[in-house]
Amino acid sequence: MLNPKMQVALNAQLNEEFFSSFLYLSMSAYFDRLSMSGLANWMKIQSQEEYIHAMKIYTYLLHKGGRVELHTISQPKLDWKNVLEVFEDTIYHERKITELVDNLVNLALDLKDHATNSFLQWFVTEQVEEEANVCKIIDNLKMIGDNRTGLFMLDRELSQRAAAVSTAAAAV
């Protein structure tokens, strides 16, 4: 049985992951409006990955006899001043998610909830990858600066991103 404190915390994270999916879908729509289909693709896949993350937590809660509690998802930002600002918002958001995951791990350790701690280690590793990927894009954008050809090339490169995880991976 899941500790009530852990159930509350996991439900909060579940909803954060759904918000992340919603935020990245909003960013994808922003890029689509600018006819930057590669950047839109990258964000759309990011949105799908965040949905899968949420479903991992959803499934874990149910497997542990917990209750899933879905809450209202806030409206995400809709507009940005440029591509760099979108990715700066992305890294800020990913760092927030990393902090939340770290807090969950700390709670699991405090509660001596070894099963949840083990489950959360996947998220710890995933957050390292998430932050590294976004930082690389930010570095590229800073290198490109105002060079429209460079931005065009980055957009084409990011159009090649394919979903790395199937929905079957949402299972625990």
Q: What is the CATH number of the domain that holds 132?
A: 1.20.1260.10
pLDDT-derived band at 163 (thresholds 50, 70, 90) equals confident
Contacts of 105 (CB under 8 A, 6+ apart): 117, 120, 121, 124
CA distances from 158 to 36, 38, 46, 83, 131 (A): 10, 5, 12, 13, 16
* pLDDT, mean of residues 10-28: 98
Residue 167 has pLDDT above 50, yes or no: no
Q: Quote the tokens at residue 47.
A: 């949105």
pLDDT-derived band at 137 (thresholds 50, 70, 90) equals very high
* pLDDT, mean of residues 74-90: 97
Closest CA to 85 of 116, 124, 39, 51: 39
Q: Is the dihedral of CA 166, 167, 168, 171 positive or negative?
A: positive
Q: Which amino acid is at 158?
A: L
User: pLDDT exceeding 70 applies to what percent of the chain?
Assistant: 95
pLDDT tens for each residue of 35-58: 999 999 999 999 999 999 999 999
Residue 168 has pLDDT above 80, yes or no: no
**Token pair 């699991």 in the structure block, residue:** 108
* pLDDT, mean of residues 141-150: 95
30 or 160: which carries more pLDDT confidence? 30
Residue 171 has pLDDT above 70, yes or no: no
Enclosing domain of residue 23? 4-170
Residue 172 has pLDDT above 80, yes or no: no
Mean pLDDT, rounded, of the chain: 94
3-state secondary structure of 66: coil
CA dist 5 and 13 (Å) reads 13
Domain count, the chain: 1
Residues 10, 104: contact at Cβ < 8 Å?
yes
* pLDDT, mean of residues 24-35: 98
Residue 170 has pLDDT above 60, yes or no: no
Please tell me the predicted confidence (pLDDT) of residue 79: 96
pTM (2 d.p.): 0.92
CA dist 152 and 46 (Å) reads 20
Buried b (16+ CB within 10 A) or exposed e, 66-103: beeeeeeeeebeeebeebbebbebbbebbeebbebbee
CA dist 150 and 137 (Å) reads 12
* pLDDT, mean of residues 124-141: 97
